[in-house]
Amino acid sequence: MTIDLRSLLFSLLTLSISNVASAMTMQQQSQSSLRLHVYDHCPFCIRVELALGLKQSPYERIVYGYGDKLGDESKQGCYDGGNPILTGKKELPVLEKIGPDGNREWLKAESLDIIEWAQTEQSDRFPAKSGREDLTAFFATDGRFKVLQRILSRPRNLKMTQLKDWAREEDRAYAKNKYEKGGWDYAAAEACDGESQVEMNKLLEDASTLLGSDTSFYEDGALGFDDLLYLPELRAVTVAKGVKWPDRLRNYVVSAHSKANVGTYFDQQVE
- With beta carbons less than 8 A apart as the criterion, state whether 147 and 200 touch: no
Minimum gap (Å) between residue 90 Cβ and ligand GSH: 5
44 or 186: CB nearest ligand GSH: 44
Give alpha helix (H) positions in 55-143.
111-120, 133-138
Q: What is the total count of residues that contact ligand GSH (CB under 6 A)?
A: 10
177 or 209: CB nearest ligand GSH: 177
Minimum gap (Å) between residue 214 Cβ and ligand GSH: 29
152 backbone dihedrals φ, ψ, rounded to 5°: -80, -35
Buried b (16+ CB within 10 A) or exposed e, 48-73: bbbbbbbbeeebeeebbbbbbbbbee
Among the listed residues 91, 116, 170, 190, the single contact to ligand GSH using CB under 6 A: 91
CB under 6 A: which stretch of 28-36, 87-95, 181-189, 243-251 binds ligand GSH? 87-95
Among the listed residues 36, 37, 39, 153, the single contact to ligand GSH using CB under 6 A: 39
Q: Let me know if 127 is exposed, middle or buried by CB neighbors in 10 A (0-12, 13-18, 19+).
A: middle
Minimum gap (Å) between residue 93 Cβ and ligand GSH: 6
198 backbone dihedrals φ, ψ, rounded to 5°: -60, -45
111 or 215: CB nearest ligand GSH: 111
Distances, alpha carbon 126 to alpha carbons 54, 70, 201, 218, 254, in Å: 9, 31, 30, 11, 19
Distances, alpha carbon 232 to alpha carbons 49, 76, 141, in Å: 10, 28, 14
Is residue 107 helix, strand or coil?
Answer: strand
Among the listed residues 44, 179, 184, 186, the single contact to ligand GSH using CB under 6 A: 44
175 or 211: CB nearest ligand GSH: 175
Minimum gap (Å) between residue 91 Cβ and ligand GSH: 4
Q: Determine if the peptide bond prior to 93 is cis (ω within 30°).
A: yes
CB under 6 A: which stretch of 10-18, 90-98, 196-204, 253-261 binds ligand GSH? 90-98
39 or 230: CB nearest ligand GSH: 39
CA separation for the pair 159, 163 (Å, rounded): 9
Sites for ligand GSH among residues 164-203 (CB under 6 A): 178
212 or 232: CB nearest ligand GSH: 232
Among the listed residues 50, 92, 253, 256, the single contact to ligand GSH using CB under 6 A: 92
**238 sits near ligand GSH (criterion: CB under 6 A):** no
Is residue 32 helix, strand or coil?
Answer: coil
Per DSSP, the chain holds a count of helices (H) and strands (E) of: 10, 4
90 or 154: CB nearest ligand GSH: 90
Interface residues with ligand GSH (CB under 6 A) are 39, 42, 44, 90-93, 110-111, 178
